[in-house]
Chains A and B, each alone.
Chain A
Amino acid sequence: MSKNEWPLWEIFIRGQHGLNHRHVGSLHAPDAEMAIRNARDVYTRRNEGVSIWVVPSNAITASSPSEKGPLFEPANSKVYRHPTFFDIPDVVGHM
C-alpha cells in the first residue's frame, strides 16, 4: 500500500440554479482543484449539477449519533412552533 494515499474530499453539488448544494458522496484527490475535476467526472456525468463544492473530509465536524436525544428531542414538545398549532376561524380568511 502506498503511504501517499490521496486525501478524502466530501462533494456537494448544486443540482439546479436556486437549490442548495447537496452532499452526493466523497472521493480522493491530491488537492482541491483536482477534487473538483474528479467530482465533475465521478458525480456529474449526466448533467447533475451547475456548481460543485469540495471540502476536505477531515474538516467536517459531525454530531455524534449518541447525542441524538439531547440535541433533537427538545424540539418534540414545542409543537406551537408549527402554524397548524393555532386554530384561526375560517371567517378571518387566509393567514
Chain B
Amino acid sequence: MYAQLVKSEGSKTRDEMTPEEIAFQERIDRGERIEPKEWMPEGYRKTLIRQMGQHAHSEIVGQLPEGNWITRAPTLERKAILLAKVQDEAGHGLYLYSAAETLGISRDELLEQLHSGKMKYSSIFNYPTLTWADIGAVGWLVDGAAIMNQVPLQRTSYGPYARAMVRICKEESFHQRQGYDIMMKMAAGTPEQKAMAQDALNRFWYPSLMMFGPSDKDSVHSAQSMAWKIKINTNDELRQKFVDQTVPQAEYLGLTIPDPNLKWNEEKGGHDFSEPDWSEFFAVIAGNGPCNEERLGARVKAWDDGAWFRDGLMAHAEKAASRRHAAE
C-alpha cells in the first residue's frame, strides 16, 4: 500500500454529525461519487489530501531505487523497459498530484511538505536495490502489493482519485509482469543468478508485507476512512490476499519465501504467515531506514537544482505573452 499510516480526521457518531454531514455520509453510502466543488466535511478533505499526497509522493520517490539500475540494466531491451516503467511512475505521481490539487492544495505545497518531512511516502522505498534481481523483486512484489491496494481504490468515493486510480491500474500490471519476467530469467539461470533472485526475495519479502500498513488491531485510522470509502479493505485483508497470491508464484520460480511459519490453513482458506517486524516498520517511517536520507536528499536536490530551469521557462512564457499582447 502506498499510503500506510494516514491519519484520519473527524471520526464522529451519527448523533454528533450535522445535517450536512449526515447527508454527505448518505451520499457515500449510496455509492455516489463526490466531485471537487461539492460540499464535503473538512476532515474528509484533509484526510484525502494526506492520503493522495502520500500516494503521489510514493510514486515519485519510487522512481529512485529503480532509476539506480537504468544505466546498469543487463541488455538494451531491459533498459528500455525499465526506463518506460520509471516514466510511468512519474506519470502516476502527476495524475495523483493533479487529482489532489482539486481539493484546494497546490502541487508545490505538497512537494514542500514532502521535502520538509511533514508528509511521508511508502516505507518500501527506503530499502536499497543492491542487485539486478532486486529490480525483479520490486516489480513482482512491490508493484504486486501496490496493485492489491489500488484495484479496490478505483471505487473510492472521491471522483478525481478514483479516475486517477483507473488510469494507474491499467498501466500497473505491465510493471508487475516485467518484474516477474526478470525473476523467471534469474531463477532459471546459473546457480549464482538463482541465488541472487533468492537473496532479493529474502530482503524484499517482509518490507513488502509492511506496505499494507500496521495490523488492523493497531490501525487506529481505518474505521473513519472506510466509512468515507477512501479506504476499501483493511490492512490485514489485503496482506492476506497478497500472501495467498504470491506463494504459488514463488513456487513456480523455485524460490523459497523466507518464512518458516508459512503454511496453508485449510480452515481459513488462506496461508498462515509471520508478521513483519513492526518495530522496523515504525523506525523506517520515522526516518531511520537504510535509505531515507539518500532518497529525500535526492528529491530535494532535484527540486533545488531545477529551480533556475522552472523559473527560466516561466520567465520566457511571460515575456512571449507580453510580446503577443503588445503586438495585438
Question: A-side interface residues toward B, CB under 8 Å?
Answer: 1-2, 4-6, 8, 25-28, 30-31, 34, 41-43, 45-46, 62, 64-65
Contact = CB atoms under 8 A, between A and B. Distances in A.
Contact of A65 (B35, B112, B167, B310): B35
Interface stretch (B14-22, B102-110, B186-194, B272-280): B102-110
Contacts of A6: 310, 313-314
Contacts of A2: 108, 307, 310-311
A26 B314 contact: no
Contact of B107 (A5, A25, A43, A46): A5
A92 to B, nearest CB: 42
B81 to A, nearest CB: 13
B95 A30 contact: no
Contacts of B237: none
B300 interface: no
A25 B37 contact: no
A6 B88 CA distance: 22
A20 to B, nearest CB: 17
Contact of A25 (B84, B95, B307): B95
Interface stretch (B41-49, B128-136, B200-208, B315-323): B315-323
Contacts, number: 60
Given A34-B313, A45-B87, A45-B88, A1 B94 contact: no
Interface in B84-131: 84, 87-88, 91, 94-95, 98-99, 101, 106-109, 111-112
A58 B99 CA distance: 16
Contacts of B163: 25
Nearest to A38: B94
Contact of B91 (A4, A26, A31, A45): A45
Interface string B64-92: 00000000000000000000100110010
A5 B111 CA distance: 12
Given A4-B311, A42-B94, A62-B37, 4 more contacts: A2-B310, A30-B313, A30-B316, A43-B91
A5 B317 contact: no
B213 to A, nearest CB: 27
Question: How big is chain B's contact interface, by range?
Answer: 20 to 34
Query: Of residues A1, A8, A34, which shows the largest number of chain B Cβ atoms within 10 Å of its Cβ?
Result: A1
A33 to B, nearest CB: 9
Nearest to B98: A26
Contact of B106 (A5, A30, A42, A45): A5
Interface in B282-328: 307, 310-311, 313-314, 316-317, 320-321
Given A25-B164, A30-B317, A31-B320, A4 B101 contact: no
Top 5 nearest A-B pairs (CB, nearest first) are A31-B317, A30-B317, A30-B313, A26-B98, A65-B38
A27 B94 contact: yes
Nearest to B112: A1
Nearest to A8: B101
A65 B37 contact: yes
Contacts of A4: 310-311, 314
B171 interface: yes
Interface in B1-49: 35, 37-39
